[in-house]
Structure formats: C-alpha cells, structure tokens
Amino acid sequence: MNQNRPAWSWQFAPESIVRAPHVRGLEDITADWAWGGSTGAGIKVAVIDSGIDNDHPAIAGRVKGYIAFHEDRDGNMNVDESPHTDAFGHGTACADIIRRLAPDCDLYSVKVLGPMLTGKGTAFAAGLRWAIEQGMHVVNLSLGSTKRDYYGMFHELADEAYFKNTVLVTAANNMPVASYPSLFAAVTSVACHEGQDPLEFYYNPLPPVEFGAPGINVTVAWLGGGQMTVTGNSFSAPHIAGLVARILSKHPGLTPFQVKTILRATARNVGGET
C-alpha cells in the first residue's frame, strides 16, 4: 500500500482494481434472465424470527442450522445452538414462503422471539450479527424495533451486512411508525399488497419502503403441521427474500445494490411481465 495515497484510495490503484460481475442494461433485464430456472440452490437464507419447525411438511427438513439468542433478567445473553422448534408459528410461515420460491435454498433458523412473538432488541441484534458473521447470503427480517435507542446499533449492522454482500430483506412495520432496520437505505424494505401471485411484486419510487409483495390473506404453514391465512407486511418480505435467493443462485457474487437494481427492473410496474 502506498502510504502517500489518501485513505481508501488504495483499492483503486491499478494493481488492486477488481473486475465486478457484469450486469445487463436495465432495459435488458428480464425475470427469465434474473431467476428463470433457478431454485435457490447453494444459497444460505437466515430467518431471524420465532424459530422454524423443520418437521413441518412445507419446510421438509431444509433447516441446515439453528441458533437461539435470549437475554435473561440480569442482562446476560444466552446462546443455544441446539435444534429448536417454532415458539409461535411466525418463523415457519416466513420460511414456507421462502421455500415456495426457492425450494432448494438452505434455511438457517435464528430464534430471537418467544411464544408471544416478543423479544429483546439486543437478542435481535445478536441474531443479526451472527447471520452476517456466518456469511448468510440472504437474511429475512420480518420483525423490527421501534425503539430509537437501537437506531445506531441496527444502522451499523445494516451497513456491515451491505459491505459483506449479505442482502437484508426487511418487512415494514404494520403501523405507520419508524422501525429499525426496515427503513434504512442499506436494506431491501417490503410492504404487502393484495395479490396472490408470488411473483407479482412492485417497485415504489417513493421510498423508504421500496417494494410491495403479497401479504394480504395469504395461506402459510403454521404450528402443528397445519396452515393459517394471515395478513401483514411480515409475509411480504419472504416473497422478496425467496426471489433474491433465486437471483443469487443463478448469478453468484452480486452485491446488494445490484440485486436491488434487478428487482427494480423486473417489478410488475417497471419491467412488466414476471
């Protein structure tokens, strides 16, 4: 490294420049090019939620790893890497949606929520940090925190994920309030629309919420091997997470901003057909 160069500029010295994967022009990107024929094989998807029921027929044993974070009353973070099940049903529902779109992806259950679908922001952050450090390709975050105290911590984690090419797909809050990390520019934020076609999604040119995907009256896997019809932004995010898994499986090495560009180009209100 040349000590006379300004900080960070050494990455652009002639001998250091890395050739990035080629992405077609926006007008040339189609759904078929983006994910056609892809099943999500080779892609690690972490679901940070209430756990995943690996025995549910819809999940079919696709959970490849488990970890749970729980902060006790004394403020100690307890970590458990033994297999677990779903404490509520929410995580299994999200995993089901992801698998419908990317059936061959590898799921990782990161349990941070309990039976009442509540948990500490510190446990959530610990789970997200673990997913980033483990090199997950995609992280589904159908949860968030409205506490301003956590803004800085989640902002740092969102940026760390972005720079490590981990795509964070976040559900917007169901109420019109700010929640973190769903409104950060480094994540791919999603809210729901009424459609039932899992490939029908829309781009919003007026963010912070950037994409709309199915999430109203959708039938999903739930506890006890059954199903439930649900509504919420929570169930729109995994539709996009599943698509991202397919995109990355077909085009390895893409960065989060390239993935987001592809999603924009193939959205129903931009590219037209899906």
Cβ atoms of 121 and 147 closer than 8 Å: yes
143 vs 93: CA distance, rounded Å: 13
Amino acid 274: pLDDT: 42
What angle separates helix 151-163 from helix 121-133, to the nearest 10 degrees?
10
Task: Assess if residue 89 is contained within a domain.
Answer: yes
**Coil, strand or helix: which one is 191?**
strand
Domain that includes residue 241, residue range: 35-266
Tell me the helix, strand and coil percentages in the chain, rounded to 5.
30, 20, 50
Task: Assess if residue 7 is contained within a domain.
Answer: no
Is the pLDDT assigned to residue 134 strictly greater than 60?
A: yes
133 CA to centre of own chain: 15
Q: What is the pLDDT of residues 31-63, one digit of tens each?
A: 999 999 999 999 999 999 999 999 999 999 999
CB neighbourhood size of 41 (10 A): 14
Average pLDDT over residues 218-228: 97
Cβ atoms of 186 and 256 closer than 8 Å: yes
Average pLDDT over residues 234-246: 97
- Confidence band for 27, pLDDT divided at 50, 70 and 90: confident
Task: Assess if residue 185 is contained within a domain.
Answer: yes
- Confidence band for 1, pLDDT divided at 50, 70 and 90: very low
Task: Assess if residue 274 is contained within a domain.
Answer: no
CATH code where residue 204 lies: 3.40.50.200
- Confidence band for 25, pLDDT divided at 50, 70 and 90: confident
Task: Assess if residue 242 is contained within a domain.
Answer: yes
